[in-house]
Chain A
Amino acid sequence: MGRKPRKNDSLPGSLDMLILRTLSGRDLHGYGIVQFIQQSSGNELLVEEGSLYPALQRLELNGWIDGDWGLTANNRRARIYRITAAGRKQLTVETRRYAQLTLAIARVMEGE
């Protein structure tokens, strides 16, 4: 099984951003989102699977993503999520905030 990936708990709230970023490239269903994040982070980030669905519901409630029934790559019925225009705007906001945060952290770390 190799090395166990780290759970994404270092930055609370970043899960929303990761989901939005993932969906900004392609429409995916829930499991697909988990896999994509895991793979594209080079197995560094593991989404806590249980938190994914509340997060998806929250994003949908805010109108940032839209879920609809469709088929997965293996031809199974699943809810496929798609990012909305408002979601893209939110992604920009969160990306900027993330960049500011990481920059600030980097400054602190360099200062030491």
Chain B
Amino acid sequence: MLRRLRYWTNSARRSEALREEIELHLAEKAAELHAGGMSAERAQAEARRRFGNVGLKQEESREIWITRFWSELAQDIRYGCRAMAANKAFSSLAVLLLALGIGANTAIYSLMESILLRSLPVADPESLVVLNWRGRPPLEGSGKWVHVVHGLQGLFWPGGKGALISGIFPYAVLETLDHQNPAFSTLFGYCNGHSRNLTIRRQATSAGAEFVTGQYFHGLAVSPAAGRLIGSEDDRPGATPVAVISFATSQNRFGGPPNAIGQSILVDSVPFTIIGVAPPEFFGVDPAMSPDLYLPLHTNLLLDGPETARLYSDANFYWLELMGRLRPGVGMAQAQTALAPRFHQWVATTATTDGERAKLPALLLNPGAEGLGSLRRQYSKPLFVLLAMVGLILAITCANIANLQLARAAARRREMAVRLSLGAGRFRVVRQLLTESVMLASLGGALGVLFAIWGMRTLTVLFSHGQENFTLRAELNWQVLGVTAALSVICGLLFGLAPAIQSTRPDVMPALKYGRGGGPRNRTQNILVSAQIAVSFLLLVAAGLFVRTLDKLHSVQLGYARENILLFSLNARQAGHRAPEITTFYENLRKRLESIPGVRGATFSQSSLISAGSAGGVYRGAIRIGAVTVADAGVMGAGPHFLTTMQIPLLAGREIDERDQPGSAPVVVITERLARTYFGNANPLGRRITFLDDKRELEIVGVSADVRYGGLRQENPMTLFAAASQFSPDRVTCALRTPGDPLNYVRSVQRIVREADSRLPVTGVITQAAEIDRTISRELMFAKLCTGFAVLALLIACVGLYATMSYSVTRQVGEIGIRMALGARRGVVVRMILRRVLLLAATGLALGVPAALIASRLVGSLLFGTRPDDPGTLAVAAVVLLSAAILAGYAPARRAARIDPMAALRQE
């Protein structure tokens, strides 16, 4: 084998040598003949004659080295090319369908690969471990919070069976576990620093920050692109504030990593020195985040004020995320056994009551190779749904091409029969047919890659819908291309095998006899068509459900204006403003914004209405009306004329306005539902609400209509609008009501804010409509993609149906001819064909309906206001499918009706 390979590698030289050898042979022979008395010319001719066909002998000699398999493969490929060229319509249709199918799969797979499968770009990612804990939910049935977690900054997510999982810990856990840790060589922590005001050479922008402990970069084994990375000496209270910036930031702001080192920057008006630049491929530990700025953990003491000190001392405040690197030779299970008891022991000492002791969280180690995976939690289900859809599309594409091949195989049966009866081995013929199929599939795959590149761009845009600094990097890497190639070959084999075996069935005689057609009816084809129809129905139902969901979400009564509102965010605290001056600053800015020509109103609140709740309220503690506790009410800090600007109807009293100053009596406006729930029919105006934790009494001055607060999917919650000026929030979301397109006013806004304070960047500029759409981006994406997929599937199924019917009409020319000769009208023939079409479609539906009912239950959690078994959707899908089927069957039916009985009979 090795010798063969070597021959392959220098085959050109070898064949040259062979040629020279044979020439020498001929020359010597001629010389001998010449010496024997022959003329030189004759001698040469004689030498050649005796040798035989020189070219053929050369070929034979060469072929000894190249195995038969390869030479036959080359032969098959040549033959395949000819066969493909001979049937251009079929080949191009098949290649196009395959390109769509394989391309869609490649695109979705590449997205999955980038979100779900790719490892962190650090050394040896397999030995990284994320620390989580699992526990019972803190809220008791009575609505009381009982848990060792007294306060938190971070996320919980459901862990199944009513349990919660979280990745945040008190700082003390880092110290406890880091001490003589038997399982980890390093343990490090980090926490999201959110967006900060980054000033470089007096230019302020907003930058994402990550607080990291001193061991962070060492534990991840990252080496700097320039300078040095944060070390343990940088992460202690009182250390010189230093920062590491991302590679992209160094390029955008300093023109390259080396220039950035040693530069002074302001982070929220605190001076830092840049000591290093992270490598280009590094994006932190969460593929969704990609911070611009890495700061030592303890610098949060400088940035977030003195109350931050509590984070380090309070063993019941959970906020720090932890990751560890396993010691060589230590497995994850081993680490779990070693550390879980230690964590349990420690956490038990932090419990203050028996209730807390009864539900202590338990340590849970997870693989850290893929990073934190907030994207993974958010997108894994949608991605699997999408992958299932494109998988189905590819399946029906294969079924379809198998179908077309079957039809063609029937046409080629004579050819095959001739080849078989002339002595070709059956396996040899099957192999040749399979080669043809795989060639088709490979061409489809190659074209599919082009389609996938386009698809990936579109998908990334759809997925990132409106998200700032979305870091998803779907790309064609070798893994993705490998999967595509494998997919193509598998497809080729799948759709090639059945026709190949069928067309080479050993009963040669009937095929030779029948010639053009006749023969037994093809059951396989009918099954394939029905299956395609069933799958298309499935996809149509999915599309219907998601479009309906989107429609429901769009028709939700917001209770406030959606159009003509411009939103943008400001964080004056990060620019150096402090209470109480910050209140005046925002109010003055509001007045200036209001005076922009054309603007009909300007106000602010502590977040946009739709994203309220997730952005944090001005007050989150207990609320009481008299002795009654108000449960589940959100508090929103709102500026003057908030209701007017947002066009929320005021039902009674007044809204918050300029009269409500920091020193004046605290006031609140409540929504109708809150008023009805707690005051019944009594007039709430003038009554008081207590913010218990703030020890503050607020007077109810107005009642507004209900609004969709904190997301479209929420039922209208009870909301309180408190005067923002009386809570002095750090950051606000300004809202401008404009005539016409709100984005026309962005320049004026930026100018006014710059004039007010040049250190203050304007962030998150977006229209209210877009902000609302952003909260339903997933539903939007699903509706668009599913509709596209369903149309594609329907198209493929119709092509399949059309081809099958055309083929069967061609085969039945004789039969139809006889019927017509015996007096059948054209209408009868058309109906006969269409009846068969409908029978196929009905079979497909019979298969599809139960499948759809089962499958739709799996996507139930992605729907809104729509039942998974929505009968309307099912009915519409069925009607669409049947109409498409009739349309596809009509052309062959007409062709059948136009058959000339005489011509048909003569052919028989």
**Cα-based distance from A74 to B18 in the complex (angstroms):** 20
Contact of B51 among A1, A50, A54, A78 (CB under 8 A): A50
A57/B64 in contact, CB under 8 A:
yes
B27 closest partner in A (C-beta): A76
**Docked pose: A55 CA to B34 CA in angstroms:** 27
Q: Tell me the B702-738 residues at the A interface (CB within 8 Å).
A: none
In the complex, A34 Cα to B24 Cα: how many Å? 13
A49 near B50 (CB under 8 angstroms)? yes
B252 at the interface (CB under 8 A from A): no
Chain A residues with Cβ below 8 Å from B53 are: 50
Bound CA span A61–B29, Å: 26
B64 touches A78 (CB 8 A): no
- In the bound complex, residues from chain B placing their C-beta under 8 Å from that of A54 are 57, 60-61, 64
Contact yes or no, A53 B57, CB < 8 A: yes
Tell me whether A49 and B51 are in contact (CB under 8 A). yes
B62 proximity list for chain A (CB < 8 A): 57
Known A-B contacts A48-B52, A50-B53, A53-B61; A61 and B25 likewise in contact (beta carbons under 8 Å): no
A6 at interface, CB cutoff 8 A: no
Q: List, in ascending order, chain B residues with CB within 8 A of A76's CB.
A: 24, 27-28
Q: With A53-B57, A54-B60 as given contacts, are A30 and B21 in contact (CB-CB < 8 Å)?
A: yes
Q: Which residues of A contact B20 (CB under 8 A)?
A: 77, 79
Given A31-B24, A79-B17, verify A61-B65 contact (CB < 8 Å). Answer: yes
Assess A50 versus B52: contact at CB under 8 Å? Given A57-B61, A57-B65, A76-B24: yes
Decide if A63 is an interface residue (CB 8 Å cutoff): yes
Q: Give a binary string over A56-90; 1 marks a CB under 8 Å from any B CB, 0 the rest.
A: 11100101000000001010111100000000000
| Minimum C-beta distance from A16 to chain B (A) | 12
Complex CA–CA separation, A49 to B52 (angstroms): 8
User: Could you tell me if B18 and A53 are in contact, using CB atoms closer than 8 angstroms?
Assistant: yes
Interface string of A1-15 (1 = CB under 8 A from B): 100000000000000
Q: Which of B40-68 contact A (CB under 8 A)?
A: 50-53, 56-58, 60-62, 64-65
| Chain B residues whose C-beta falls within 8 Å of the C-beta of A48 in the assembled complex | 52
Cβ-based interface call for B876 (8 A) = no
**B residues near A77, Cβ cutoff 8 Å:** 20, 24
Residue B202, interface by CB 8 Å: no
Would you give the shortest CB distance from B54 to chain A, in whole angstroms? 8
* Interface secondary structure of B, over-half rule: helix
B interface residues, tally (CB under 8 Å): 26
CB neighbours of A58 from chain B (8 A): 64
Known: A54-B64, A57-B61. A30 touches B25 (CB 8 A): yes
Give every chain A residue within 8 A of B60 (Cβ-Cβ): 53-54
B29 and A31 contact, CB distance less than 8 A: yes
- A47 CA to B22 CA in the complex, in Å? 15
Closest approach, in angstroms, between the C-beta of B13 and any C-beta of chain A?
11
Partner of A53, one of B21, B28, B65: B21
Q: Does B428 contact A (CB under 8 A)?
A: no
Bound together, the chains give a CA A72 to CA B36 distance in angstroms of: 20
Known A-B contacts A31-B29, A61-B3, A61-B65; the reply to A53 vs B24 at CB < 8 A is no
Say yes or no for B592: interface residue by CB 8 A criterion. Answer: no
The verdict on B4 contacting chain A, using a C-beta distance below 8 Å, is yes
- Give the complex CA separation of A48 and B58 in angstroms: 14
Nearest-CB distance from B841 to chain A (Å)? 60
Which residue of chain B has the shortest Cβ distance to A1 in the bound complex? B36
**B3 — nearest CB in chain A belongs to which residue?**
A61
Question: Is B24 within 8 A of A63, CB to CB?
Answer: no
- How far in angstroms is the closest Cβ of chain B from A46? 9
A49 contacts B25, C-beta separation under 8 Å: yes
How long is the Cα–Cα vector from A57 to B64 in the complex, in angstroms?
Answer: 7
Rounded to whole angstroms, the CA-CA distance of A74 and B35 in the bound complex is 14
* 16-55 of chain A: CB within 8 A of chain B: 29-31, 34, 48-54
When C-beta atoms are compared, the residue in chain A nearest to B33 turns out to be A1
Tell me which residues across on chain A come within 8 A of B21, comparing CB atoms: 29-30, 53, 78-79
Complex: A52 Cα to B54 Cα, angstroms: 12
Write out the residue numbers on chain A whose beta carbons fall within 8 Å of the beta carbon of B50.
Answer: 49
- CB nearest neighbor in B for A50: B52
CB of A55, distance to nearest CB on chain B (Å): 9
Hey, which chain A residues are within 8 Å of B4, CB to CB?
Answer: 61
Contact B64 A29 (CB under 8 A): no
Q: Kindly provide the distance from the CB of B10 to the nearest chain A CB, expressed in whole angstroms.
A: 14
The answer on a CB contact under 8 Å between A50 and B24 is no
How far is A76 from B24 in the complex, measured between Cα atoms in Å? 8
- Which residue of B is nearest A48, CB measured? B52
Q: Report how far A79 CA is from B13 CA in the complex, Å.
A: 13
Residues of B within 8 A of A78 (CB): 21, 24
- Is B64 a contact of A63 with CB atoms below 8 Å? no
Complex-state Cα separation, A29 to B52, whole angstroms: 19
Proximity string of chain B (311-349) to chain A, C-beta cutoff 8 Å, 1 when within and 0 when not = 000000000000000000000000000000000000000
Measured in the bound complex, the distance between the Cα atoms of B23 and A31 in whole Å is: 10
- Which residues in window 48-103 of B have CB below 8 A to A? 50-53, 56-58, 60-62, 64-65
Residues in B whose Cβ lies below 8 Å from that of A72: 24, 28
Q: Which residues of A contact B51 (CB under 8 A)?
A: 49-50
A49 to B4, CA, bound (A): 25
Cα separation A53 to B29 with both chains bound (whole Å)? 15
A1 to B27 CA separation, bound complex (whole angstroms)? 19
Q: Chain A residues with Cβ under 8 A from B25's Cβ? A: 30-31, 34, 49, 52-53
Taking CB as reference atom, which chain B residue is nearest A76? B24
**Partner pick for A61 among B27, B36, B64, CB 8 A cutoff:** B64
A74 to chain B, nearest CB (A): 8
Q: Which residues on the A side are within 8 Å of B24 (C-beta)?
A: 29-31, 72, 76-78
Who on chain A is nearest to B58 by CB? A53
CB distance from A19 to the nearest CB of B (A): 14
On chain B, the residues within 8 Å of A30 by CB distance are 21-22, 24-25
CA distance A50 to B29 in the complex (A): 13
Interchain CA distance A58-B66 in the complex, whole Å:
11
Contacts of B61 in A (CB 8 A): 53-54, 56-57
Which of chain B's residues have a CB closer than 8 A to the CB of A52? 25
Docked CA distance A29–B841 (Å): 74
Most buried by A among B18, B25, B50: B25
Task: Write out the residue numbers on chain A whose beta carbons fall within 8 Å of the beta carbon of B17.
Answer: 79
Bound together, the chains give a CA A76 to CA B53 distance in angstroms of 24
Residue of A29, A34, A50 near B57 (CB, 8 A) is A50
B22 to chain A: which residues have CB within 8 Å?
A: 30, 53
Query: In the assembled complex, how far is the CB of residue A28 from the closest CB belonging to chain B, in whole angstroms?
Result: 12
A sample of 6 inter-chain contacts (CB < 8 A) reads: A29-B21, A57-B61, A57-B62, A61-B3, A72-B24, A79-B21
Q: Which 8 A-B pairs have the closest CB atoms?
A: A50-B52, A31-B28, A50-B57, A57-B61, A54-B61, A57-B64, A54-B60, A49-B51
If A49-B50, A78-B24 are given as contacts, then 16 extra A-B residue pairs at C-beta distance below 8 Å, sorted by A number, are: A29-B21, A30-B21, A30-B24, A30-B25, A31-B24, A50-B53, A50-B56, A50-B57, A52-B25, A53-B58, A58-B64, A63-B3, A76-B24, A77-B20, A77-B24, A79-B17
- Give the interface of A toward B (CB within 8 A): 1, 29-31, 34, 48-54, 56-58, 61, 63, 72, 74, 76-79
